[in-house]
Amino acid sequence: MKTILLIVLVLCITWCISPEIDQQELIKQQEIQKKINEKELEERRILEEERVKLKIIRAKEIEQEERAKNNLLGNDLLEETALLNKQALNVLNSEVTLVKDDQEFDIHTDNSLTRFVNNTTPYNGLEYIPQNLVSLEWEYTKDVKWWAKLRQEAADALDNLAQNYFLRFGIPLDIVSTYRSYEYQKWIKDRGCDDTLCAKAWYSEHQSGLAVDFWEASEESRFRENEDLKMYFEWMKQEAYKFWFTNTYQKGLEIDWYWIEPWHWRYVGEDLALILKEYKITFAEYIRSPESY
């Protein structure tokens, strides 16, 4: 009997606490699962954070690479531009020391027929005015302004040149610009013409009274496109030296300090005109050249 009672008691106890044990176990398991989940979530969060960090780092790297590439390109362009500017400045600021101190021709005296001027070599006298300026009134020229003047030597030579031009083409030679005073050149510059196309006042060949501009065209391209202008210019290139004129600006900025000007001719006297023609050089080239011609 005692045994039976004991068994019943054990069974009863087991029965009574079993659900309790199950319940506790379940809670425990749930807690474990919760922790696992939390840990997983945390790990995932960390992983996600790492991924985002890596993504940001890579994006920054790409941005830096792009920037470096652009800077490199930018630097190249800047360097290239700086070099070009430097070359242009070197050309424009070539010192007078480059100028050949020629024994044969007087290139320094203002009233010398071979006086050399460029945009860094002005006249000695700021408002130098040639003494023997004469008016130009001939039948072989046209569009000559009433105030147009040249030095006597250049005017005589131009008269001959214009007559030959008339014989060749049957038309008078257009004279657009001749002597320009310091004040007149200043007035032109004040209207905004660039230094590489229009000389500064005090630095213009026109102030010498020896330079003349032909034809109503001040763009080099027109002398390549317009058949008439092309023909007149070709003739002038062949013939003008016989009248002791030279085309001052024919080789561009780096050689002549100005852009090409097919219309601008300058009287230089017989000897220099022949040398420039024979060696196919400009006055500026002659001046800067170490060789003797």
Binding site for Zn ion (CB under 5 A): 213, 264
Is-contact 272 289, C-beta < 8 A?
no
Say which residues have a Cβ less than 8 Å from residue 222's Cβ, sequence separation at least 6. Answer: 229
- Nearest distance, CB of residue 208 and Zn ion, angstroms: 11
**Minimum distance from CB of 157 to Zn ion (Å)?**
16
Pick the closest to residue 98 from 214, 224, 254, 226 (CA basis): 254
Angle between helices 152-169 and 227-239 (to 10 degrees): 130
Cβ atoms of residues 244 and 268 within 8 Å = yes
Min CB(82)–Zn ion separation in Å: 32
Residue nearest Zn ion (C-beta atom): 264
In the complex, what is the shortest distance from the CB of residue 245 to Zn ion, in angstroms, rounded to a whole number?
Answer: 12
- In DSSP notation, 99-130 reads S---SSS--SSTT-TT---BTTB--SSTT---
* Residue whose CB is less far from Zn ion, 102 or 252: 252
Local structure of 221: helix, strand or coil:
coil
Q: How many CB atoms lie within 10 A of CB 75?
A: 11
> Whose structure tokens read 């001749």?
178
Q: Least distance from C-beta 283 to Zn ion, angstroms? A: 13
* Cβ closest to Zn ion, residue 261 vs residue 281: 261
Contact 120, 179 (CB under 8 A): no
Helix (H, G, I), strand (E, B) or coil at 150: strand
3-state secondary structure of 170: coil
Question: What is the SS3 assignment for 175?
Answer: strand
- Outline where the chain has alpha helix (H): 2-92, 152-169, 182-190, 222-225, 227-239, 253-256, 270-278, 283-288
Question: Closest approach of Cβ 177 to Zn ion, in Å?
Answer: 6
Of 151 and 264, nearer to Zn ion (C-beta) is 264
Closest distance between Zn ion and the C-beta of residue 67, in Å?
49
